[in-house]
Structure 1
Amino acid sequence: MAALPLVAQNRPTSLGWTVPAFLSSAEDLKEKGNRLLERTWPPPISETYTVDGVTYRRHDPPVHKKSNTRARIWAEVVDAETGSRPPVPVGKRADVTSVEADSFWGWAVASTLKETGVRIEELLELTQLSLRHYVAPTTNTIVPLLHIVPSKTDQERLIPMSPELVKILVEVQRRARGIGQSVPLSTRFDPNDKTFSERLPHLFARLVGPTQNVLSNHYVRKLLIGIASHAGLSDGGMPVTFTPHDFRRLFVTELVGSNLPLHIVSTLLGHLDLETTRGYTAVFPEHVIQAHHAFIERRRQSRPGHELRAASSDEWQEFEQHFLLRRVALGTCHRPYATPCVHEHACVKCRFLQVDPAQAGRVEDMTANAEARLDEARQHQWLGEVKALEENLVHLRRRRDEMTGSPGPVRVNGGQA
């Protein structure tokens, strides 16, 4: 019997426990794919080598002409240790280039869906021109924003990007760019309208043969199924599969408040369109930028006319003053816009805190102070104080590890603190 997707099971909330395992599996596949490609590249054709418990022998099929360059790397699976998971059965040949590419794009799609809660169509429509930023005049802080174009079913949105999302999209942009100076232009086929887009610098695009192609819906679903299979997820004895829409349902609840209000979006886009045009004219020809603006305007025509109104002077002032409240002693708070502080300003415990490296000395002082207070509490057997200080030290040490690059094993609320 085929596995039921989460939507069909109608229990997305109860299966939320599968999400950390799914994302961990995506990260694991990405790391393994990268290791396999790096290890396969140098060896001579006859030499065997082992990666993650699987023994390979590089295989180079003949080319038709000596002048042809080899675009893909192949390896034969010679042997596999018990418990290892080879990409193909023993004795078969694996397309190592595809294995690595699939693992990267699977991680990129899953991670971006987690951080944004966008629909799969919105994800595949993202271009280099979707990456915006706003400089808050109150703090001179750069606020990275992700522009989601409107559609017949969803409003136009600006999503303040978390540090994690910035890192993900920088890596996606680097991947899409390849060895070039800018993201190559590509067209996207819209399966709903049955139309092709203008040639734009789509981020979620890969080289297929000689052309740059936007990832297809079918390819994305295949990647998500592969990640779930690698994770070995099951519910009631049945394997669990994820679809892009399942991801949206699972993550949109906690992320729904992260979008900027529509009246702020309307006013802010007026500034950002000018800044984007100035910033990208040195990267893309004018006709590409104009095609992007025309694409957005066509989409806006499908939305109700009253949807985007300009912000009043009081609303705009409130928006600008908002960024003053994000500055804290240890760095910057990246909680969703217009949401309260859930930790009552116990910032060191909060996963939305981005620590400023310049505050490393402050973190060390706070750690030493907490350790001294913990010793005193233990001497006096203040057990409640002992428990609170021990928890506080866990978070302080993680913040210290974040600044030094050391991994921290503890997770808070299902995510990195």
Structure 2
Amino acid sequence: MTIPNNLIPGTTSLTMDIETPPRERVWNPPMPLLFQHRIGTETRAMQPTCIRTYIVQALASTGLTDASGEPLTMQPHDFRRIFITDAVMNGMPPHIAQLVAGHRVIDTTMGYLAVYPREVVEAHRTFIARRRASRPSEEYRTPTDEEWDSFLGHFEKRKLSIGTCGRAFSTPCIHEHVCLRCAMLRPDPAERPRLIEIRDNLIDRIAEAKREGWLGEGEGLETSLAGANDKLVQMDAATARAASAVDLGMPTFDQIAGRATDT
């Protein structure tokens, strides 16, 4: 029997038999969690009561008060409201916020009207109605199975040996699949050795074309070589950006408990 922990989405699950002794229960590998801590050799999700305790302690240490002068109090669900409110106030359409929040219907998301102005929702509804009135109604029909397969197939064809093609759906390849020359190619830094091999091969072919007098082919190879060098620069820039990122890590339970004790 598998008993899922539904208190926090994405948590691990406990697999056991009804008569299995507690110390023989097996925890499945943990999924990515925002709040987790170590228990022995296992990483488990924090329980809601534990998270509420940390929030109360953090607010108490700040000395913040509400409008009436009472100590400020918050619940974990308040952060969900803050996130959705901030996203909508900064331009996220409410129907997208509905998907982010996981609400079945947008009326549930509209329950946040006590937090953000009603005119935000009304303006969005007016925009959607005006947009749909000005565009052909067939654009809003349910796609057929063939159309859906074509859409998915487009993204499968965008996978290349040295990266990913970024061209839009239902648009042709303007360079006839000579991807090194295309600005839509998004090179993958992991494929740098492969691209270096292609570049070296282009250099050898250019030398051969000049030696044999193949001037037309030589010009085409020079263009491809310039594209290869440009893609190498893009790869190096992407690698440099990734190297400059700071990994904040995940604090352990001992660190959290120790900090709370010190405070």
TM-score category of the 2 structures, normalised to the smaller one: 0.3 to 0.5
More strand by share: 1
Q: Which has the larger radius of gyration?
A: 2
More helix by share: 2
* Structure of greater relative contact order (alpha carbons < 8 Å, 6+ residues apart): 1
Normalising by structure 1, we get a TM-score of 0.30
Normalising by structure 2, we get a TM-score of 0.45
